[in-house]
Chain A
Amino acid sequence: MRIIVCIKQVPATNEVKIDPKTGTLIREGIESIINPFDLFALEEGLRLKEAHGGCVFVLSMGPLQARISLKEAMAMGADTAVLLSDRAFAGSDTLATSYTLAAGIKKLGGADIILCGKQSTDGETGQVGPGIAAQLDIPHITCVTKIIKVDHAKKRIVVEREVEEGYEEILTTLPVLLTVEKEINRPRFLTVKGIMRAKKTGVVVWTASDLEIDPSRIGLSGSPTEIVKVFSLPRQKRGIIFSGTPEEQVETLVSKLKEAGYLF
Chain B
Amino acid sequence: MSKEKEKCALCFKKEDYHGVWVFAEQHNGTISEVVYELLGVGRRLADQLKEKLGAVLIGFNIKKQAQRLIQYGADDVYVVDIEDAARFLEEDYAEVIVKLVEEYKPAVFLFGATALGKSLAPRVASRLQTGLTADCTSLEVDPEEKVLIQTKPAFGSDVMVSIVCRNKRPQMATVRPGVMKKVEMCAARRGNIIENNHIPPLKLRSQVLNFSRKQTEVQLEQAEVVVAVGRGLGKVENLKLIKELAGALGAAIGATRAVVDAGWISYQHQIGQTGKTVAPKIYIACGISGAIQHLVGMQSSEVIIAINKDPEAPIFDYATYGIVGDLMEVVPLLIKRIKTIKNLS
Which A residues lie at the B interface, using CB under 8 A?
13-18, 23, 25, 93-95, 98-99, 122, 124-135, 139-143, 158, 161-173, 214, 216-217, 223-233, 235-243, 246-247, 249-251, 253-254, 256-258, 260, 262-264
Q: Is the CB of B206 within 8 A of A237?
A: no
Which chain B residues lie closer than 8 Å to A173 at the CB level?
A: 205-206
Of all chain A residues, the one with the shortest Cβ separation from B304 is A239
Structural contact, B155 and A139, CB atoms closer than 8 A: no
Q: Is the CB of B162 within 8 A of A250?
A: no
B119 CB contact (under 8 Å) in A23, A140, A167, A224: A140
The one of A125, A169, A250 in contact with B211, judged by C-beta atoms closer than 8 angstroms, is A169
Q: How far is the CA of A134 from the CA of B122 in the complex (A)?
A: 8
Per-residue interface assignment for chain B, residues 277 to 308, with 1 indicating a CB less than 8 Å from any chain A CB and 0 otherwise: 00001100000000010000000000111100
Q: Does B36 contact A (CB under 8 A)?
A: no
- Please measure, in the bound complex, the distance between the C-alpha atom of A241 and the C-alpha atom of B130, giving whole angstroms: 47
- Cβ contacts under 8 Å, A170 to chain B: 89, 206-209
Residue pair B329, A246 in contact (C-beta under 8 Å): yes
Q: How far is the CA of A166 from the CA of B214 in the complex (A)?
A: 4
7 A-B pairs with the lowest CB-CB distances in the bound complex, closest first? A14-B156, A224-B131, A134-B126, A127-B122, A225-B131, A125-B134, A169-B210
Interface pair A171/B206, CB less than 8 Å apart? yes
Q: How many A-B residue pairs have CB under 8 A?
A: 244
Q: For A263, list chain B residues within 8 Å (CB).
A: 338, 341
When chains A and B are docked, how far (Å) is the Cα of A169 from the Cα of B212? 8
Known contacts A15-B157, A170-B209, A236-B318; A140/B323 CB under 8 A: no
- Bound-state CA distance A94–B172 (Å) is 13
Q: Is B115 an interface residue (CB 8 A)?
A: yes
8 contacts between A and B (CB under 8 A): A14-B156, A127-B118, A142-B90, A224-B129, A224-B130, A250-B330, A262-B281, A264-B341
Whether B159 and A232, one on each chain, are in contact in the complex, defined by CB atoms closer than 8 angstroms, is yes
Q: Are B118 and A126 closer than 8 Å at their CB atoms? A: yes
CB interface residues, B 23-80, toward A, < 8 Å = 27
Asked whether any CB of chain A lies closer than 8 Å to the CB of B342, the reply is yes
List 12 additional A-B contacts (Cβ < 8 Å) besides A124-B134, A124-B274. A16-B157, A18-B154, A140-B90, A169-B211, A169-B212, A225-B163, A227-B161, A237-B317, A246-B326, A249-B330, A254-B337, A264-B342
Question: Which one of B127, B154, B311, B334 contacts A253 once the chains associate, using CB atoms below 8 Å?
Answer: B334
A242 touches B323 (CB 8 A): yes
Look across to chain A and name the residue whose beta carbon is closest to the beta carbon of B249: A263
Interface membership of B193, Cβ < 8 A: no
Q: Which of A16, A25, A166 contacts B212 (CB 8 A)?
A: A166
With contact pairs A167-B211, A264-B345 given, residues A246 and B159 touching in the complex (Cβ less than 8 Å) = no
Chain B interface SS verdict (over half): mixed
| CB–CB A238/B317 < 8 A | yes
**CA–CA, A9 and B324, complex, Å:** 40
Q: For B321, what are the chain A residues with a Cβ–Cβ distance below 8 Å?
A: 239-242, 253, 256
Q: B314 interface residue, CB < 8 Å from A? A: yes
Nearest-CB residue, chain A, relative to B32: A164
Cross-chain contact A228 with B322 (CB below 8 angstroms): no
> Which B residue's beta carbon lies closest to that of A224?
B131
User: Do A169 and B303 form a contact, CB below 8 Å, given A124-B154, A164-B115, A231-B159?
Assistant: no
A166 surroundings in chain B (CB, below 8 A): 211-214
Q: How far is the CA of A249 from the CA of B309 in the complex (A)?
A: 13
Say if the beta carbon of B259 comes within 8 Å of chain A: no
Of the candidates B134, B209, B334, the one whose C-beta lies within 8 Å of that of A158 is B209
Q: Shortest Cβ distance from A79 into chain B, in angstroms?
A: 28
How far is the CB of A9 from the nearest CB of chain B, in Å? 15
Contact status B165-A224, CB under 8 Å: yes
Query: Contacts of B209 on A, CB cut-off 8 Å?
Result: 158, 169-171
Interface of chain A: mostly helix, strand, loop or mixed: mixed
Least CB separation from A261: chain B residue: B281
The answer to whether B134 and A13 touch across the interface, beta carbons within 8 angstroms, is: no
B164 close to chain A: CB less than 8 A: yes
Residues of A within 8 A of B323 (CB): 241-242, 246, 249-250, 253
Contacts of B211 in A (CB 8 A): 166-169
**B149 CB within 8 Å of chain A:** yes
Least Cβ distance of A64 to chain B in Å?
23
The docked-state distance in angstroms from the alpha carbon of A94 to that of B124 is 13
Picked from A127, A169, A228, the residue with its CB within 8 Å of the CB of B132 is A127
Q: What's the nearest-Cβ distance from chain A to residue B127, in Å? A: 5
A165–B132 contact, CB under 8 A? no
Contact between B210 and A95, CB atoms less than 8 A apart: no
Q: How far is the CA of A242 from the CA of B322 in the complex (A)?
A: 6
> How long is the Cα–Cα vector from A262 to B282 in the complex, in angstroms?
8
A-chain residues with CB within 8 Å of residue B325 when the two chains form the complex: 246, 249
Contact call B205/A226, Cβ cutoff below 8 A = no
Task: Looking at the assembled complex, report how far the CB atom of A101 sits from the nearest CB atom of chain B, in whole angstroms.
Answer: 11
- B residues 182-223 with Cβ under 8 Å of A? 203, 205-214
Any A CB within 8 A of the CB of B158: yes
User: Is the CB–CB distance between A254 and B341 below 8 Å?
Assistant: yes
In the complex, chain A residues whose CB is within 8 Å of the CB of B345: 264
CA distance A103 to B305 in the complex (A): 51
Are A164 and B161 closer than 8 Å at their CB atoms?
Answer: no
Contact check, A130 vs B318: say whether CB atoms are below 8 A apart: no
Residues of A within 8 A of B317 (CB): 235-239
Q: What residues of B have a CB within 8 angstroms of the CB of A99 in the complex?
A: 126
Residue in contact with B159 in the complex, picked from A18, A168, A260, CB distance below 8 Å: A18
B262 part of interface (Cβ distance < 8 Å) = no
